[in-house]
Amino acid sequence: MSDTAFTPRVFSGIQPSGGLTLGNYLGAIKRFVDWQEAGTHETIYCMVDLHAITAKFIDPATLRRNTRELCAGFIASGIDPEKSVLFNQSQVPEHTQLAWIFNCVARMGWMNRMTQWKDKSGKNAEAASLGLLAYPALMAADILIYHATHVPVGEDQKQHIELTRDIATKFNHDYGREFFPIAEPVIEGAATRVMNLQDGTKKMSKSDPSEKTRINMTDDADAIAKKIRKAKTDPDPLPETIEGLEGRPEARNLVNIWSGLTDQTPAQVVEANAGKLFGYFKQDLADIAVDKLGPIASEMARLMEDQSEIDRILGRGAERAREIAAPILDETYDIVGMVRS
Protein backbone atom coordinates (compact mmCIF):
# COMPACT_ATOMS: atom_id res chain seq x y z
CA MET A 1 0.00 0.00 0.00
CA SER A 2 1.36 3.38 -0.96
CA ASP A 3 2.11 5.75 1.89
CA THR A 4 0.96 8.92 0.20
CA ALA A 5 -1.50 8.32 -2.64
CA PHE A 6 -4.90 7.67 -1.17
CA THR A 7 -7.89 6.53 -3.22
CA PRO A 8 -10.49 9.36 -3.24
CA ARG A 9 -13.02 7.97 -0.82
CA VAL A 10 -16.00 9.41 1.04
CA PHE A 11 -17.16 8.00 4.38
CA SER A 12 -19.98 9.17 6.60
CA GLY A 13 -22.23 7.75 9.28
CA ILE A 14 -25.54 8.35 11.00
CA GLN A 15 -26.61 7.00 14.39
CA PRO A 16 -29.73 4.83 14.52
CA SER A 17 -30.56 6.40 17.87
CA GLY A 18 -34.01 7.57 16.76
CA GLY A 19 -35.93 8.33 13.60
CA LEU A 20 -34.40 10.38 10.78
CA THR A 21 -35.11 14.11 10.83
CA LEU A 22 -35.17 16.77 8.14
CA GLY A 23 -31.82 17.90 9.63
CA ASN A 24 -30.26 14.51 8.87
CA TYR A 25 -31.76 14.56 5.38
CA LEU A 26 -30.68 18.07 4.34
CA GLY A 27 -27.45 18.19 6.39
CA ALA A 28 -26.25 14.70 5.54
CA ILE A 29 -28.14 12.16 3.37
CA LYS A 30 -29.02 14.50 0.50
CA ARG A 31 -25.36 15.42 0.22
CA PHE A 32 -24.32 11.75 0.43
CA VAL A 33 -26.48 11.20 -2.65
CA ASP A 34 -24.71 14.08 -4.45
CA TRP A 35 -21.31 12.47 -3.75
CA GLN A 36 -22.57 9.12 -4.98
CA GLU A 37 -23.90 10.64 -8.19
CA ALA A 38 -20.79 12.75 -8.81
CA GLY A 39 -18.87 9.50 -9.25
CA THR A 40 -15.54 11.12 -8.37
CA HIS A 41 -15.08 9.16 -5.13
CA GLU A 42 -15.93 5.73 -3.75
CA THR A 43 -18.78 6.31 -1.30
CA ILE A 44 -19.23 4.40 1.96
CA TYR A 45 -22.19 5.08 4.27
CA CYS A 46 -22.70 3.51 7.65
CA MET A 47 -25.41 3.14 10.26
CA VAL A 48 -23.31 3.56 13.39
CA ASP A 49 -25.19 1.27 15.76
CA LEU A 50 -22.25 1.02 18.18
CA HIS A 51 -22.31 4.80 18.61
CA ALA A 52 -26.06 4.69 19.22
CA ILE A 53 -25.65 2.85 22.56
CA THR A 54 -23.16 5.35 24.05
CA ALA A 55 -25.63 7.92 25.38
CA LYS A 56 -28.67 6.34 26.93
CA PHE A 57 -30.14 2.88 27.09
CA ILE A 58 -31.95 1.89 23.92
CA ASP A 59 -34.30 -1.02 23.97
CA PRO A 60 -32.82 -3.74 21.66
CA ALA A 61 -35.94 -4.08 19.51
CA THR A 62 -36.00 -0.31 19.01
CA LEU A 63 -32.33 -0.22 18.03
CA ARG A 64 -32.85 -2.98 15.47
CA ARG A 65 -35.90 -1.21 14.08
CA ASN A 66 -34.10 2.15 13.91
CA THR A 67 -31.16 0.59 12.07
CA ARG A 68 -33.42 -0.99 9.45
CA GLU A 69 -35.48 2.19 9.13
CA LEU A 70 -32.33 4.24 8.68
CA CYS A 71 -31.26 1.86 5.92
CA ALA A 72 -34.67 2.30 4.28
CA GLY A 73 -34.25 6.08 4.65
CA PHE A 74 -30.89 6.01 2.89
CA ILE A 75 -32.27 3.98 0.00
CA ALA A 76 -35.53 5.92 -0.30
CA SER A 77 -33.49 9.15 -0.45
CA GLY A 78 -31.42 7.88 -3.38
CA ILE A 79 -28.49 5.90 -1.96
CA ASP A 80 -28.07 2.94 -4.29
CA PRO A 81 -26.50 -0.06 -2.52
CA GLU A 82 -24.92 -1.05 -5.82
CA LYS A 83 -23.16 2.29 -6.21
CA SER A 84 -22.34 2.98 -2.54
CA VAL A 85 -21.25 0.63 0.23
CA LEU A 86 -24.14 0.69 2.73
CA PHE A 87 -23.95 -1.26 6.00
CA ASN A 88 -24.22 -1.16 9.79
CA GLN A 89 -21.08 -0.63 11.84
CA SER A 90 -21.34 -3.62 14.19
CA GLN A 91 -21.11 -6.06 11.24
CA VAL A 92 -17.59 -4.83 10.48
CA PRO A 93 -15.49 -5.61 13.59
CA GLU A 94 -12.46 -3.79 12.14
CA HIS A 95 -14.04 -0.50 13.31
CA THR A 96 -13.79 -1.44 16.98
CA GLN A 97 -10.42 -3.10 16.53
CA LEU A 98 -8.93 0.08 15.11
CA ALA A 99 -10.80 2.14 17.73
CA TRP A 100 -8.82 0.37 20.48
CA ILE A 101 -5.55 1.44 18.88
CA PHE A 102 -6.91 4.99 18.63
CA ASN A 103 -7.96 4.91 22.31
CA CYS A 104 -4.26 4.54 22.96
CA VAL A 105 -3.29 7.36 20.57
CA ALA A 106 -5.86 9.97 21.66
CA ARG A 107 -5.15 11.87 24.89
CA MET A 108 -7.63 12.32 27.74
CA GLY A 109 -7.29 16.09 27.39
CA TRP A 110 -8.46 15.90 23.76
CA MET A 111 -11.52 13.85 24.69
CA ASN A 112 -12.44 16.08 27.63
CA ARG A 113 -12.49 19.11 25.33
CA MET A 114 -15.12 17.69 22.94
CA THR A 115 -18.25 19.85 23.12
CA GLN A 116 -20.54 16.91 22.34
CA TRP A 117 -19.07 15.02 25.32
CA LYS A 118 -19.58 18.07 27.52
CA ASP A 119 -23.16 18.58 26.30
CA LYS A 120 -24.20 14.95 26.52
CA SER A 121 -22.49 14.10 29.81
CA GLY A 122 -23.97 17.27 31.30
CA LYS A 123 -23.57 18.04 34.96
CA ASN A 124 -22.96 14.45 35.94
CA ALA A 125 -19.98 13.25 33.90
CA GLU A 126 -19.29 10.58 36.54
CA ALA A 127 -22.47 8.81 35.48
CA ALA A 128 -21.76 8.99 31.72
CA SER A 129 -20.57 5.83 29.98
CA LEU A 130 -16.91 5.33 29.14
CA GLY A 131 -18.16 4.74 25.58
CA LEU A 132 -19.51 8.30 25.40
CA LEU A 133 -16.07 9.68 26.21
CA ALA A 134 -14.39 7.33 23.71
CA TYR A 135 -17.06 8.02 21.04
CA PRO A 136 -14.84 10.32 18.92
CA ALA A 137 -12.03 7.72 18.80
CA LEU A 138 -14.49 5.16 17.40
CA MET A 139 -15.65 7.80 14.93
CA ALA A 140 -12.03 8.37 13.84
CA ALA A 141 -11.71 4.61 13.36
CA ASP A 142 -14.90 4.55 11.24
CA ILE A 143 -13.31 7.02 8.87
CA LEU A 144 -9.69 5.87 8.89
CA ILE A 145 -10.33 2.11 8.64
CA TYR A 146 -11.22 2.94 5.00
CA HIS A 147 -8.47 5.54 4.53
CA ALA A 148 -11.34 7.90 3.70
CA THR A 149 -10.24 11.27 2.35
CA HIS A 150 -13.53 13.23 2.60
CA VAL A 151 -16.23 13.24 5.27
CA PRO A 152 -19.52 15.05 4.53
CA VAL A 153 -21.20 16.00 7.81
CA GLY A 154 -23.35 18.68 9.41
CA GLU A 155 -21.75 21.60 11.23
CA ASP A 156 -22.04 19.91 14.65
CA GLN A 157 -19.50 17.21 13.69
CA LYS A 158 -16.66 19.54 12.70
CA GLN A 159 -14.81 19.20 15.99
CA HIS A 160 -14.93 15.40 15.77
CA ILE A 161 -13.37 15.47 12.31
CA GLU A 162 -10.65 17.76 13.63
CA LEU A 163 -9.97 15.18 16.33
CA THR A 164 -9.82 12.50 13.63
CA ARG A 165 -7.16 14.56 11.90
CA ASP A 166 -5.23 14.93 15.17
CA ILE A 167 -5.35 11.17 15.77
CA ALA A 168 -4.12 10.44 12.22
CA THR A 169 -1.35 13.02 12.55
CA LYS A 170 -0.15 11.67 15.91
CA PHE A 171 -0.29 8.05 14.74
CA ASN A 172 1.67 8.90 11.57
CA HIS A 173 4.19 10.87 13.61
CA ASP A 174 4.61 8.29 16.40
CA TYR A 175 5.15 5.41 13.98
CA GLY A 176 7.06 7.42 11.37
CA ARG A 177 4.78 6.56 8.44
CA GLU A 178 2.29 8.62 6.43
CA PHE A 179 -0.15 5.75 6.85
CA PHE A 180 -3.48 7.44 7.59
CA PRO A 181 -4.86 10.24 5.40
CA ILE A 182 -5.70 13.57 7.02
CA ALA A 183 -9.40 13.46 6.12
CA GLU A 184 -11.21 16.63 5.04
CA PRO A 185 -14.56 17.55 6.57
CA VAL A 186 -17.05 18.64 3.91
CA ILE A 187 -19.62 20.99 5.41
CA GLU A 188 -21.46 22.58 2.53
CA GLY A 189 -24.77 24.12 1.59
CA ALA A 190 -27.42 26.21 3.31
CA ALA A 191 -28.73 23.42 5.47
CA THR A 192 -25.66 22.18 7.36
CA ARG A 193 -27.41 23.26 10.55
CA VAL A 194 -31.19 22.89 10.40
CA MET A 195 -32.65 24.45 13.52
CA ASN A 196 -35.44 23.51 15.90
CA LEU A 197 -38.82 24.71 14.53
CA GLN A 198 -39.81 26.18 17.89
CA ASP A 199 -36.44 27.69 18.85
CA GLY A 200 -34.15 28.94 16.09
CA THR A 201 -31.13 28.94 18.39
CA LYS A 202 -31.18 25.17 18.93
CA LYS A 203 -30.38 22.44 16.42
CA MET A 204 -33.21 20.24 15.12
CA SER A 205 -32.60 16.93 16.87
CA LYS A 206 -34.09 13.44 16.86
CA SER A 207 -33.68 13.37 20.63
CA ASP A 208 -35.72 16.49 21.47
CA PRO A 209 -38.70 15.43 23.62
CA SER A 210 -41.11 17.66 21.66
CA GLU A 211 -42.34 16.42 18.26
CA LYS A 212 -43.26 19.96 17.20
CA THR A 213 -39.59 20.94 17.06
CA ARG A 214 -38.69 18.67 14.16
CA ILE A 215 -39.88 17.10 10.93
CA ASN A 216 -39.38 13.35 10.87
CA MET A 217 -38.72 11.66 7.55
CA THR A 218 -41.62 9.33 8.35
CA ASP A 219 -44.13 12.17 8.98
CA ASP A 220 -47.18 12.16 6.71
CA ALA A 221 -48.28 15.17 4.65
CA ASP A 222 -50.61 16.45 7.37
CA ALA A 223 -47.96 16.33 10.07
CA ILE A 224 -45.35 18.04 7.86
CA ALA A 225 -47.72 20.84 6.86
CA LYS A 226 -48.93 21.36 10.42
CA LYS A 227 -45.44 21.53 11.92
CA ILE A 228 -44.30 24.05 9.31
CA ARG A 229 -47.43 26.19 9.68
CA LYS A 230 -46.93 26.20 13.47
CA ALA A 231 -43.18 26.90 13.28
CA LYS A 232 -42.17 29.90 15.32
CA THR A 233 -41.50 33.13 13.36
CA ASP A 234 -41.21 36.80 14.18
CA PRO A 235 -43.97 39.25 13.17
CA ASP A 236 -42.06 40.91 10.28
CA PRO A 237 -42.47 39.88 6.65
CA LEU A 238 -39.59 38.46 4.59
CA PRO A 239 -36.88 41.06 3.99
CA GLU A 240 -35.75 42.39 0.60
CA THR A 241 -32.25 40.94 0.95
CA ILE A 242 -30.54 38.17 2.85
CA GLU A 243 -28.89 40.67 5.24
CA GLY A 244 -32.38 41.41 6.56
CA LEU A 245 -32.42 37.94 8.16
CA GLU A 246 -29.71 38.84 10.64
CA GLY A 247 -30.83 38.45 14.25
CA ARG A 248 -33.93 36.53 13.07
CA PRO A 249 -32.89 32.88 13.63
CA GLU A 250 -36.35 31.34 13.04
CA ALA A 251 -36.85 33.27 9.78
CA ARG A 252 -33.35 32.37 8.66
CA ASN A 253 -33.99 28.70 9.41
CA LEU A 254 -37.16 28.53 7.28
CA VAL A 255 -35.32 30.21 4.39
CA ASN A 256 -32.49 27.69 4.77
CA ILE A 257 -34.93 24.77 4.76
CA TRP A 258 -36.57 26.12 1.57
CA SER A 259 -33.11 26.51 0.08
CA GLY A 260 -32.06 22.97 1.04
CA LEU A 261 -35.23 21.43 -0.36
CA THR A 262 -35.13 23.30 -3.69
CA ASP A 263 -31.38 23.71 -4.28
CA GLN A 264 -31.85 27.48 -4.63
CA THR A 265 -29.45 29.68 -2.66
CA PRO A 266 -30.87 31.45 0.41
CA ALA A 267 -30.39 34.77 -1.43
CA GLN A 268 -32.55 33.51 -4.32
CA VAL A 269 -35.22 32.32 -1.88
CA VAL A 270 -35.33 35.72 -0.18
CA GLU A 271 -35.42 37.55 -3.48
CA ALA A 272 -38.30 35.44 -4.80
CA ASN A 273 -40.32 35.94 -1.59
CA ALA A 274 -39.35 39.50 -0.61
CA GLY A 275 -42.05 41.26 1.41
CA LYS A 276 -44.19 38.13 1.77
CA LEU A 277 -45.84 37.53 5.15
CA PHE A 278 -44.62 34.44 6.96
CA GLY A 279 -48.11 32.97 7.05
CA TYR A 280 -48.01 32.67 3.24
CA PHE A 281 -44.34 31.75 3.09
CA LYS A 282 -44.95 28.87 5.49
CA GLN A 283 -47.90 27.67 3.44
CA ASP A 284 -45.71 27.54 0.30
CA LEU A 285 -42.86 25.94 2.20
CA ALA A 286 -45.24 23.29 3.54
CA ASP A 287 -46.26 22.45 -0.05
CA ILE A 288 -42.62 22.17 -1.14
CA ALA A 289 -41.75 19.99 1.85
CA VAL A 290 -44.73 17.66 1.35
CA ASP A 291 -43.83 17.37 -2.34
CA LYS A 292 -40.21 16.42 -1.64
CA LEU A 293 -40.58 14.38 1.53
CA GLY A 294 -43.88 12.59 0.88
CA PRO A 295 -42.48 10.19 -1.75
CA ILE A 296 -39.45 9.42 0.46
CA ALA A 297 -41.71 8.55 3.40
CA SER A 298 -43.88 6.23 1.31
CA GLU A 299 -40.84 4.52 -0.21
CA MET A 300 -39.43 4.01 3.31
CA ALA A 301 -42.69 2.42 4.42
CA ARG A 302 -42.66 0.14 1.38
CA LEU A 303 -39.05 -0.95 2.01
CA MET A 304 -39.78 -1.59 5.69
CA GLU A 305 -42.30 -4.24 4.67
CA ASP A 306 -39.48 -6.52 3.58
CA GLN A 307 -36.98 -6.62 6.42
CA SER A 308 -35.15 -9.65 5.13
CA GLU A 309 -34.31 -7.69 1.98
CA ILE A 310 -32.96 -4.82 4.13
CA ASP A 311 -30.88 -7.27 6.17
CA ARG A 312 -29.55 -8.81 2.97
CA ILE A 313 -28.48 -5.36 1.71
CA LEU A 314 -26.74 -4.59 5.01
CA GLY A 315 -24.97 -7.96 5.01
CA ARG A 316 -23.74 -7.51 1.46
CA GLY A 317 -22.59 -3.96 2.27
CA ALA A 318 -20.70 -5.22 5.32
CA GLU A 319 -18.90 -7.82 3.19
CA ARG A 320 -17.77 -5.16 0.74
CA ALA A 321 -16.72 -2.88 3.60
CA ARG A 322 -14.60 -5.64 5.15
CA GLU A 323 -12.78 -6.16 1.87
CA ILE A 324 -11.43 -2.61 2.23
CA ALA A 325 -11.08 -2.55 6.03
CA ALA A 326 -9.37 -5.90 6.70
CA PRO A 327 -6.08 -5.19 4.88
CA ILE A 328 -5.87 -1.71 6.45
CA LEU A 329 -6.35 -3.18 9.94
CA ASP A 330 -3.72 -5.83 9.21
CA GLU A 331 -1.21 -3.25 8.16
CA THR A 332 -2.03 -1.08 11.18
CA TYR A 333 -1.39 -4.01 13.56
CA ASP A 334 1.83 -4.69 11.73
CA ILE A 335 2.96 -1.06 12.04
CA VAL A 336 2.08 -1.02 15.75
CA GLY A 337 4.13 -4.18 16.37
CA MET A 338 1.51 -6.85 16.95
CA VAL A 339 2.85 -10.28 16.04
CA ARG A 340 0.90 -11.60 13.05
CA SER A 341 1.22 -15.36 12.44
Q: Return residues touching ligand TRP (CB under 6 A).
A: 11-13, 15, 48, 51, 139, 142-143, 151, 153, 157, 160
Of these partners, ligand TRP, ligand AMP, none, which one is at the site of residue 24 (CB under 5 to 8 Å by kind)? ligand AMP
Residue number, 58 or 277, with CB nearest to ligand AMP:
58
Of these partners, ligand TRP, ligand AMP, none, which one is at the site of residue 9 (CB under 5 to 8 Å by kind)? none
136 closest CA partner among 111, 168, 165? 111
Residue number, 54 or 332, with CB nearest to ligand TRP:
54
Residue number, 189 or 266, with CB nearest to ligand TRP:
189
In whole angstroms, how close is the CB of 24 to ligand TRP at the nearest point?
A: 8
Q: What angle do CA 10, 15, 19 make, to 5 degrees?
A: 120
In whole angstroms, how close is the CB of 44 to ligand AMP at the nearest point?
A: 14
Question: Does 227 qualify as catalytic in the annotation?
Answer: no
Distance, in Å, from the CA atom of 341 to the CA atom of 338, rounded to the nearest integer, reads: 10
- Which one among 19, 73, 81, 154 touches ligand AMP, defined by CB under 6 A? 154
Does 212 engage in binding with ligand AMP (CB under 6 A)?
no
Q: Do β-strands 42-47 and 199-203 pair in parallel, antiparallel, or remain unpaired? A: unpaired
Question: 47: left (phi > 0), else alpha (psi -120 to 50), else beta?
Answer: beta
Distance, in Å, from the CA atom of 259 to the CA atom of 269, rounded to the nearest integer, reads: 6
In whole angstroms, how close is the CB of 57 to ligand TRP at the nearest point?
A: 18
In the region spanning residues 28 to 47, those forming contacts with ligand AMP, defined by CB under 6 A, are 28
Does 148 engage in binding with ligand AMP (CB under 6 A)?
no
Does 89 engage in binding with ligand AMP (CB under 6 A)?
no
Q: Strand locations in the chain, DSSP E?
A: 9-14, 42-47, 85-88, 150-152, 184-186, 195-196, 199-203
Stretch that binds ligand AMP, among 200-208, 276-284, 287-295, 309-317 (CB under 6 A): 200-208
Residue number, 28 or 98, with CB nearest to ligand AMP:
28
In whole angstroms, how close is the CB of 152 to ligand AMP at the nearest point?
A: 7
Task: Using CA atoms of 105, 111, 112, 115 in order, give the dihedral in degrees to the nearest 10.
Answer: 160
Does 27 engage in binding with ligand AMP (CB under 6 A)?
yes
- Which one among 9, 10, 14, 32 touches ligand AMP, defined by CB under 6 A? 14
Q: Which of 30, 206, 227, 282 is catalytic?
A: 206
* Partners of 45 in beta bridges: 12, 86
Query: What is the DSSP track for 247-278?
Result: T-HHHHHHHHHHHHHHT--HHHHHHHHTT--H
Question: Does 226 qualify as catalytic in the annotation?
Answer: no
Question: Does 203 qualify as catalytic in the annotation?
Answer: yes
Q: Is the dihedral of CA 18, 21, 25, 28 positive or negative?
A: negative
DSSP letter at 82 equals T
- What is the total count of residues that contact ligand AMP (CB under 6 A)? 16
Helix (H, G, I), strand (E, B) or coil at 14: strand
What's the start-to-end Cα distance of the chain, in Å?
A: 20
Tell me if 215 sits within 8 A of 293, measured CB to CB: yes
Q: Which of 203, 227, 232, 282 is catalytic?
A: 203
Q: Which residues bind ligand AMP (CB under 6 A)?
A: 14-15, 23-24, 27-28, 153-154, 156-157, 192-194, 203-204, 206
Residue positions annotated with a catalytic role: 120, 203, 206
